[in-house]
Structure 1
Amino acid sequence: MGNMVSHDETRSEDAPAQPPVRPTLKTIARLAGLGVTTVSRALHDAPDIGEETKARVRRLAESLGYQPNRAGVRLRTGRSHVIALVLATEAEELGINSQLIYGISEALSSLTYQLVVMLHDPSADPLGPVRSIVEAGAADGILFARIEPDDARVRFLTERGVPFATHGRTDMGIVHPYFDFDNEAYAESAVKRLASLGRRRLALVGPPPHLAYARHMATGFCRGISTLGLEKVSVEGIDTDSPHERIQAEVQRLMQRADRPDGIVSGGAVAALSVTAGAEAAGLVLGGDFDVVVKESSDLFRKFRPAIETAREDFRAAGRWLAQAIVGRIEGTADADIHFLDVPRIEVSETMDERVVAGGIR
């Protein structure tokens, strides 16, 4: 009898392993010694819940791997607790998209919202993916970039009353949340920096002309040229979205002219590399025969091409701000007119300073 195995024990050994029980609000409430309603409000950052309680509830939720039942949340509240980020596939330049996503995810990590990224072909109708999200009720709020001066997405979402925020701003007069980099100030300061290095004939390789920030950049560039009495050299047929080989070939041709520019302002990091390669292919020396200023979101140039002047554009910070703005709009805690304009600063390299002091450019 001592070796007898009970029927229950045999069934236990033969039965398949049961999946782990998914933690719920009740699980967190029991472990925290709180009510379910208090836990729910703490996870939603309710203002009447103490910060210490919120932190304790969030730590428990994270340690348990808690994820809200989105179907249940939607039935109870009419919300999906999903935020959609719409990005153009060709806009990924040296990790820009990933930095923006990281910033948004960072800000949402302590909240109950899930980020869904939708990629679209930039040559197709940009309204298409936004309309699909709205018609399917797939998200409570939408974030998007590559804004046009008269942007159909902004008008559509405003008319539908759907919360949204943009990376960039329109000229439409429609009030909405946006985070933007001051490209007008960037281009003007880039011109001034090139002038301080003795450059007198300047060219701009800017963004695609249909985008709002292309106009801002061109305005600042032209104002800087006019204010300082410099000469503008036109660049035809290329922009920062052009294929790298095309930019390089066009700049090489441009730099072989007698009236070539000796300073170039670039609207994008990859374009700046192509510009530099094209000028060097024409036999010119960076920092001697010509200079380039670019805005970038990483330390690429400072590490590998320190002779190129840079202005910092922080996409991670932009992502954090946009996430906070869209959650505020969804929950009714943020006004429609909230915005942030990031003012650039040219980061002067030591190489440039030494060259100016030595009188190497004149």
Structure 2
Amino acid sequence: MLIKPTLKTISELSGLAITTVSRALSNAPDISISTKEKVKKIADEIGYIPDRAGVRLRTGRTNVISLIMSTDSEIMDMTGRLISSIALGLRGTPYHLNMTHHFPGDDPMKPIKYIVETGSADALIFNQVQPNDPRVHYLIEKKFPFTMHGRSCPNEKQSFVDYDNGEFAKIAIEKLVKKNRKHVLMITPPQNQSYGLEMVQSAKNTAEKHNISLIIAPIITSDSSITLISDTVSKQIINNKKIDGILVGTPKGAMAAVAGFEKLNLTIGQDIDIVAKDAVNFLKLFRNQIIVINENVEIAGKKLAEAAIHAAQNPDSEPIQYIDRPESDYTKFN
């Protein structure tokens, strides 16, 4: 029977005190980089796995960051890459990533309260952030470390990583204006989420500035089913033949919109132009004529990991806040 490696095993192999080994594995700032590398190398070689129960008993920490996500996330959008990027951001740290799901229609407070009440994580990451989000108020009240992918209450000190969706909408409208498009159909994000409100308001302001018509697609959002988006786009164009541009914030929504107008024998890049956000360089493979503005989800994931660790280790310090801004002359995918 193999004996499980312990801190004592690493201590004996390295010639370092057990407390030094423990602090090196915890990435303590007072331990030199060379010592940390030496300890981690030995730990990897002997297959050392921390005893989480023991860590929690000694330190009160779990070394777990919990990511809470809805099960309605689309795989062709950014969810998979975001998760892998957060995991990469935690690589080389003592923290591990746990996934906690909540189902559409369920109370989004339920998984938050469970983790806080059980102390099953050192910090939380969540998305689909709403204005004045009750999850934010609850976590602040409980003094539980967290960060979020999105922004909620602008007047409170909160940890967040976000994409400038207002700037995205502005650039998108301006790109359509350059294509001489005058009547733009917008498939909006859910309007109960902060990024959706930001995107719509910016699109309206920019359309008004350039004196073009902005039509908000009824019934649907960019999170609706592909079939519903496709059918709605077809109906909107049939009812308003002046529509010559489409703005949408997700790859799924863009693909569904293209299917909707191609059913009417309209040609992308000639009869109608579409601008969309993409995180995985996928849309250009689908239709090269789609005007793509990138969202760098890899940076977002790594920043979320950094912000979560910072919140867990430095609860009384200034929270990390990061906004990724698209460039007006962005040409990575174009």
> TM-score, with normalisation over the residues of structure 2?
0.95
Q: Which residue of 2 is the match for residue 357 of structure 1?
A: none
2:29 equivalent to 1:47: yes
Pick aligned residue for 2:287 from 305, 308, 324: 305
Mapped partners of 2:298, 2:14: distance in 1: 34
Equivalent residues in 2 for 1:309-328 (5 A)? 309-328=291-310
How far does the alpha carbon of each residue in 1:266-318 deviate from its partner, in whole angstroms, 9 at most, with x for none?
01110110011101112211000011111111111122311101111122221
The gaps in structure 2 that reach 5 residues or longer are none
Q: Which residue of 2 is the match for residue 11 of structure 1?
A: none
Q: Which residue of 2 is the match for residue 111 of structure 1?
A: 93
Amino acid at match of 2:204: C
Query: What's the CA shift for 1:83?
Result: 1.2
2:8 equivalent to 1:26: yes
How far does the alpha carbon of each residue in 1:178-204 deviate from its partner, in whole angstroms, 9 at most, with x for none?
000000000000000111111111121
Pick aligned residue for 1:255 from 234, 237, 243: 237
Amino acid at match of 1:116: N
Amino acid at match of 1:139: A
Equivalent residues in 2 for 1:148-187 (5 A)? 148-171=130-153, 173-187=155-169
Assess if the C-alpha contact under 8 Å between 1:309 and 1:348 holds in 2.
no
2:93 equivalent to 1:133: no
2:275 equivalent to 1:281: no
Q: Which residue of 1 is the match for residue 39 of structure 2?
A: 57
Pair 1:334–1:181, CA change in 2 (3 A): farther
Equivalent residues in 2 for 1:337-348 (5 A)? 337-345=319-327, 347-348=330-331
Assess if the C-alpha contact under 8 Å between 2:89 and 2:302 holds in 1.
yes
Mapped partners of 2:316, 2:285: distance in 1: 40
Pair 1:284–1:182, CA change in 2 (3 A): same
Assess if the C-alpha contact under 8 Å between 1:311 and 1:344 holds in 2.
yes
Query: What's the CA shift for 1:143?
Result: 0.6
Root mean square deviation, CA, Å? 1.7
Mapped partners of 2:94, 2:43: distance in 1: 11
Mapped partners of 1:59, 1:175: distance in 2: 39
Query: What's the CA shift for 1:63?
Result: 2.5
Pick aligned residue for 2:254 from 264, 272, 285: 272
Stretch of structure 1 that moved more, 251-260 or 207-216: 251-260
Stretch of structure 1 that moved more, 42-51 or 157-166: 42-51
Q: Which residue of 1 is the match for residue 19 of structure 2?
A: 37
2:321 equivalent to 1:329: no
> TM-score, with normalisation over the residues of structure 1?
0.88
Mapped partners of 2:89, 2:146: distance in 1: 16
Amino acid at match of 2:158: H
Aligned to 2:216, the other structure's residue is in SS state coil
Stretch of structure 1 that moved more, 316-325 or 182-191: 316-325
How far does the alpha carbon of each residue in 1:117-172 deviate from its partner, in whole angstroms, 9 at most, with x for none?
01111321111111111111111111100000121110111000000000000135
Pick aligned residue for 1:211 from 176, 181, 193: 193
Amino acid at match of 1:97: T
Assess if the C-alpha contact under 8 Å between 1:101 and 1:316 holds in 2.
no
Mapped partners of 2:52, 2:240: distance in 1: 65
Aligned to 1:21, the other structure's residue is in SS state coil
Q: Which residue of 2 is the match for residue 358 of structure 1?
A: none
The gaps in structure 1 that reach 5 residues or longer are 1-17, 353-362
Mapped partners of 1:125, 1:197: distance in 2: 44
2:69 equivalent to 1:87: yes
Assess if the C-alpha contact under 8 Å between 2:307 and 2:319 holds in 1.
no
Pair 1:237–1:95, CA change in 2 (3 A): closer
Residue-pair matches, total: 333
Query: What's the CA shift for 1:335?
Result: 3.0
Query: What's the CA shift for 1:95?
Result: 5.4
Mapped partners of 2:240, 2:142: distance in 1: 55
Assess if the C-alpha contact under 8 Å between 1:93 and 1:270 holds in 2.
no
Pair 1:189–1:95, CA change in 2 (3 A): closer
> Computing the radius of gyration over CA atoms, which structure comes out larger, 1 or 2?
1
How far does the alpha carbon of each residue in 1:29-76 deviate from its partner, in whole angstroms, 9 at most, with x for none?
222222211111111222221112212222222232222111111111
Amino acid at match of 1:126: P
Q: Which residue of 1 is the match for residue 52 of structure 2?
A: 70
